[in-house]
């Protein structure tokens, strides 16, 4: 979770990425190659020893003017797959819980930007909570086709021990030591302008190296210059045209910390991976902390008096 403390205002990574991308609502366009039939059901193949080809990075100074001047332009870090420039930051995820460090013990925890342990816990990875990419055709003359999207489990570390976490959004509360009452947490999750939404659904027991071809969730126009209806994959982009894509993930169910690699198949070539996502912890939460838990006399007795708004969360009663 990305923290911005201004009157208890929380930005999730999706909110940050979407807020930046919301400035780019007016300049994307696509030349449809076909009506774009929805891809069949996802398939997964285990390839733990396979070599993953990653796309080469692109210096910002070498971006062609047609992509750099687009209102929906890729932003650094960027990679190149065929003729496509792709923003490779893999912004995404919303409503992640925050992991309580083991050092917190069973006493009230003053909430601050450095309170929580990484990585984020159980983020939503679908419905715009997936990973966001801007793509642009950097060719001066050739139409380029994005044919499919693949997602691979890049790493996994098994989860051990009981997990404690605090869910701030969408309806979390915290305890204010000044007012001696709970107060809602304000979460900002603006919607992003999405052209292509796809989802990679992994089997429950998928392991490192398992690779899934994503299926189409939706395809929609976001500007007046976009074709309507917007074509599903395979998507042909004319020179200098851009699109925003979100990749949802239905992850395995084995508890642990995961990273995923997102790959693009362009113009008939094999998938080339553009980004490895930040680690996320997917595991059952054994102990749900909250501001409401701080209302007990036992917890309030441990919270110092405050002369200004000071926010706490507390463990559940033993």
**Residue of 107, 91, 123, 67 lying closest to 15 (CA atoms):** 91
> pLDDT, tens digit, for every residue of 79-116?
999 999 998 777 777 889 999 998 899 999 998 878 89
Nearest one of 226, 214, 218, 212 to 197, comparing CA atoms: 218
pLDDT digits (tens, 9 = 90+) for 196-216: 999 999 999 999 999 999 999
Q: What are phi and psi of 103, to 5 degrees?
A: -65, -15
Share of the chain above pLDDT 70, in %: 82
Task: Dig out the tokens for 2 from the structure.
Answer: 């990305």
Backbone angles phi, psi at 157, to 5 degrees: -130, 120
CA gap 166, 154 in Å, rounded: 27
Computed over every residue of the chain, the mean pLDDT equals 83
Q: Please report the pLDDT score of residue 77 as a whole number.
A: 87
Note the pTM of the prediction, 2 decimals.
0.83
Query: What does the pLDDT average to over 286-304?
Result: 95
Tokens for 312, please give them: 């706490």
Closest by alpha carbon to 242, among 261, 267, 228, 223? 223
Confidence class for position 48, pLDDT limits 50, 70, 90: very low
Q: Nearest 5°: phi and psi at 73?
A: -95, 145
| pLDDT level of residue 70 (50, 70, 90 thresholds) | low
In eight-state DSSP terms, residue 125 is -
Q: Quick check: 180 pLDDT over 60?
A: yes
């Amino acid at each position: 979770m990305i923290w911005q403390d201004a009157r208890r205002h929380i930005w999730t990574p999706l909110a940050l990425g979407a807020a930046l991308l919301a400035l780019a609502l007016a300049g994307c366009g696509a030349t449809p190659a076909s009506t774009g039939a929805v891809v069949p059901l996802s398939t997964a193949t285990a390839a733990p020893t396979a070599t993953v080809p990653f796309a080469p990075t692109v210096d910002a100074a070498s971006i062609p003017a047609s992509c750099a001047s687009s209102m929906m332009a890729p932003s650094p870090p960027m990679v190149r797959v065929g003729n496509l420039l792709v923003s490779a930051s893999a912004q995404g995820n919303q409503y992640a819980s925050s992991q309580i460090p083991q050092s917190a013990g069973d006493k009230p925890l003053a909430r601050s930007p450095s309170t929580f342990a990484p990585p984020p816990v159980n983020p939503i990875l679908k419905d715009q909570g997936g990973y966001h990419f801007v793509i642009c055709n950097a060719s001066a003359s050739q139409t380029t086709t994005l044919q499919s999207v693949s997602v691979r489990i890049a790493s996994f570390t098994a989860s051990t021990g009981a997990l404690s976490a605090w869910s701030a959004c969408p309806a979390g509360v915290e305890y204010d030591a000044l007012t001696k009452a709970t107060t809602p947490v304000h979460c900002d999750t603006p919607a992003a302008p999405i052209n292509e939404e796809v989802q990679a659904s992994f089997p429950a027991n998928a392991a490192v190296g398992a690779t899934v071809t994503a299926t189409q969730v939706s395809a929609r126009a976001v500007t007046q210059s976009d074709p309507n209806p917007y074509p599903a994959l395979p998507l042909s982009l004319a020179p200098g045209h851009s699109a925003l894509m979100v990749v949802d993930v239905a992850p395995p169910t084995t508890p642990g910390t995961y990273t995923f690699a997102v790959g693009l198949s362009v113009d008939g070539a094999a998938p080339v991976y553009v980004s490895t996502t930040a680690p996320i912890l997917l595991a059952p939460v054994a102990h749900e902390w909250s501001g409401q838990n701080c209302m007990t006399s036992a917890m309030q007795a441990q919270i110092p008096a405050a002369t200004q708004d000071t926010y706490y969360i507390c463990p559940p009663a033993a």
